[in-house]
Amino acid sequence: MSAFDLIVRGGVIVNHAGRGEGDVGVRAGKIAAIGDLRTASAGQVIDAKGLHVLPGVIDTQVHFREPGKEYKEDLETGSRAAALGGVVAVFEMPNTDPSTTTLAALEDKLKRAKGRMHVDHAFYAGGATDNVADLVEMERAPGCCGVKIFMGASTGSLLVQSDEDVTRILAAVKRRVAFHSEDEYRMRERAGLVRPGDWTSHPEVRDAESALMCTRRLLAIATRLRKRIHVLHVSTADELPLLAQHRDVATVEVLPNHLTLAAPEAYERLKGKAQQNPPIRDAHHRAALWEAVRSGLIDVLGSDHAPHTSEEKAKPYPQSPSGTPGVQTLVPVMLTHVAEGRLTLERFVDLTSTSPQRVFQLAGKGRLALGYDADLTLVDLAARRVITDGEQASKARWTPFAGMTAKGWPMATITRGSIVMRDGEITTPSVGEPIRFLETL
């Protein structure tokens, strides 16, 4: 008779072995057994009959706005949204106020997170024009997931638009560097194409060529320096063949938004709530992104959760800010694509668990396997629920997917053996801890 802290019993386990019915035994926050545990006892038992048991979903791109913009979001509310959405861990972005460009700012975020965040977490160091020496120290610090560089769509010193500055940063740091790849020079030249009040002009100002030009520049620098990069929220058909030729240096992220929404319909229906950077583009680009998912070119799925208030989003274009909430809807939106045959459940696991572990070298996370953290996302593939604004835990209280009938729903979020969310309720709050990385152990 084995005693476990927790047994997840009778679900369909989806992992490296494929999928099959079985039990997961948890001891001291780790996966201690997988198989038939009918005769074993446990302090807690979850009956997972009828559910699929996935490795915990990891969202490697969120903006939780703290410090400085807590009226939009904070670490508690953002992580609450994550847990309710079946997400066990998040990587948070550096464009807060102040920006996360010093070791002190990074340590401040980790301190704010302690005892307040409901899921595990790591924070990006913001690459700036004036902090190269700091980045070398920051990327080695516990709780840092790496360096993030904005080549477009940022402000102040966090905007690193020249090849010279990008080269200085990439040459100095050791870990994989994440990039927002849009060509700031071209977008400034195209600013005159803005049609005030008309959001359909957003993808014309920030056109596909802006993304392609920047990604081409970036890949040339990374290849020359032999440095690893991660190209965030790729949105164009044009970039994909180029990225396929540079698999030795580049990994690729795509967002549910770019896989689900399309211009001009999204802008006509949602107006400012469809506005993000890079923009929602037409169906031709969306189809190419799906082909890249199927071919294995896309490594990682992130939400780019970037909340703004409804009042801010209601301002006429271009006064309306770019960014949409997404961490709570990532799982149901993508399970809907699974139900509709656009990707397999195994590929979803690859994009949200296996590949984040591989790309970012997570220690003990991203696999449903013995000895790994007991991070599990339990989903009901048969559930049919309408996504609503009212159920969103984000302070924004809206989602671009409101009104969509989701085909599949997260039923429980388990982080290191703690049942953080069950049936839409936070059951074990504030258990989030910093994520550990193999490169900085």
d(C-alpha 109, C-alpha 122), whole Å:
9
Task: Give residue 310's identity as a one-letter amino acid code.
Answer: S
Shared-domain flag, residues 46 and 105 = no
Tokens linked to 44: 């807690």
How many angstroms separate the CA atoms of 62 and 73, rounded?
Answer: 11
Please check whether residues 182 and 315 belong to one and the same domain.
yes
Specify whether 304 is catalytic. Answer: yes
**For 96-120, how does the pLDDT look when each residue is reduced to its tens digit (9 = 90+)?**
999 999 999 999 999 999 999 999 9
Residues 313 and 418 in one domain: no
- What are the distances in angstroms from CA 385 to CA 32, 358, 396? 34, 33, 21
Residue 169 within a domain: yes
What pLDDT digit, counting tens, does each position of 253-264 carry?
Answer: 999 999 999 999
Tens-digit pLDDT profile for residues 208-249: 999 999 999 999 999 999 999 999 999 999 999 999 999 999
**223 and 89 together in one domain:** yes
Percentage of the residues of the chain whose pLDDT score is greater than 90:
98
Is residue 187 in some structural domain?
Answer: yes
For residues 313 and 356, membership in a common domain is answered with yes
Q: Is the pLDDT of residue 293 over 80?
A: yes
Tell which of 327, 360, 393 closes a domain.
360
User: In 42-149, which residue ranges form alpha helices assigned H by DSSP?
Assistant: 75-84, 103-113, 132-138
Co-location of 324 and 228 in the same domain: yes
In a domain, 301, yes or no: yes
- Segment 335-346 mean pLDDT: 98
Asked if 214 and 151 touch (Cβ cutoff 8 Å), the reply is: yes
154 & 109 share domain: yes
Q: What is the mean pLDDT of the chain?
A: 97
Instruction: Evaluate if residue 156 carries a pLDDT over 80.
Output: no
Catalytic residue among 304, 350, 373, 375: 304
How far apart are the C-alpha atoms of 283 and 287, rounded to whole Å? 6
Q: Does the model's pTM come out above 0.75?
A: yes
Three-state secondary structure call for residue 185: helix
Residues 6+ apart with CB under 8 A from 399: 324, 325, 326, 328, 329, 387, 389, 392
Give how far the C-alpha of residue 247 lies from the chain's centroid of Cα atoms, to the nearest Å: 21
- Confidence category of residue 1, pLDDT binned at 50, 70, 90: low
The CATH number linked to 63 is 3.20.20.140
Task: Measure Cα distances from 194 to 91, 235, 265, 271 in Å.
Answer: 33, 20, 18, 14
Given a contact cutoff of 8 angstroms between Cβ atoms, the answer to whether 236 and 285 are in contact is yes
Residue 393 lies in a domain: no
Q: Domain with 419 in it: what CATH number? A: 2.30.40.10
